Amino acid sequence: MAWGLVATIKAPADDILRFAAYHLQAGAQRLFIYLDAPSDAYEALHAHPKICVTLCDEAYWQSRGRNRPPKHQSRQTMNANHAYGRASDVDWIIHMDVDEFLVAEAPIDAVLCGLPDTVTVVRVRPMELLSDSTDLFKAFIPAGPERERIVAALYPTYGPHLKGGFLSHLAGKIFVRTGVPGLKLRIHNAFQGNEMIKAEVDQPNVQLAHCHAKTWGDWQRHFRYRHASGSYRADLGPARARDRGGITMHELFNMIQRENGTEGLRAFYDEVCTATPQLCTRLEEHGLLRRVALDLDTKVAHHFPDATSV
In the predicted structure, residue 308 carries a pLDDT above the cut 80: no
Report, as an integer, the average pLDDT of 202-228: 93
In the predicted structure, residue 216 carries a pLDDT above the cut 90: yes
Percent of the chain with pLDDT over 70: 98
145 confidence band (pLDDT: 50, 70, 90): confident
More confident residue, 306 or 296: 296
In the predicted structure, residue 159 carries a pLDDT above the cut 70: yes
| pLDDT for position 202 | 81
In the predicted structure, residue 239 carries a pLDDT above the cut 90: no
The domains located in the chain, with CATH, are 3-125+172-212 (3.90.550)
310 confidence band (pLDDT: 50, 70, 90): low
Report, as an integer, the average pLDDT of 6-27: 98
Lowest mean pLDDT among 165-169, 172-176, 202-206: 202-206
Report, as an integer, the average pLDDT of 255-272: 96
| pLDDT for position 101 | 98
Kindly report the pTM of this predicted structure.
Answer: 0.94
Tens digits of residue pLDDT in 35-92: 999 999 999 999 999 999 999 999 999 999 999 999 999 999 999 999 999 999 999 9
Task: Work out the mean pLDDT of the chain and round it to a whole number.
Answer: 94
In the predicted structure, residue 309 carries a pLDDT above the cut 60: no
Q: What is the 3-state secondary structure (H, E, C) of the chain?
A: CCEEEEEEECCCHHHHHHHHHHHHHCCCCEEEEEECCCCCCHHHHHHCCCEEEEECCHHHHHHCCCCCCCCHHHHHHHHHHHHHHHCCCCCEEEECCCCEEEEECCCHHHHHHCCCCCCCEEEECEEEECECCCCEEECCCCCCHHHHHHHHHHCCCCHHHCHHHCCCCCCCEEEEECCCCCEEECCCCEEECCEECCCCEECCCEEEEECCCCCHHHHHHHHHHHHHHCCCCCCCCCCCCHHHCCCCHHHHHHHHHHHHHHHHHHHHHHHHCECCHHHHHHHHHCCCEEECCCCHHHHHHHHCCCCCCC
More confident residue, 306 or 283: 283
| pLDDT for position 132 | 87
Tens digits of residue pLDDT in 83-106: 999 999 999 999 999 999 999 989
Tens digits of residue pLDDT in 118-139: 999 999 999 999 998 989 999 9
| pLDDT for position 199 | 75
| pLDDT for position 87 | 97
| pLDDT for position 254 | 96
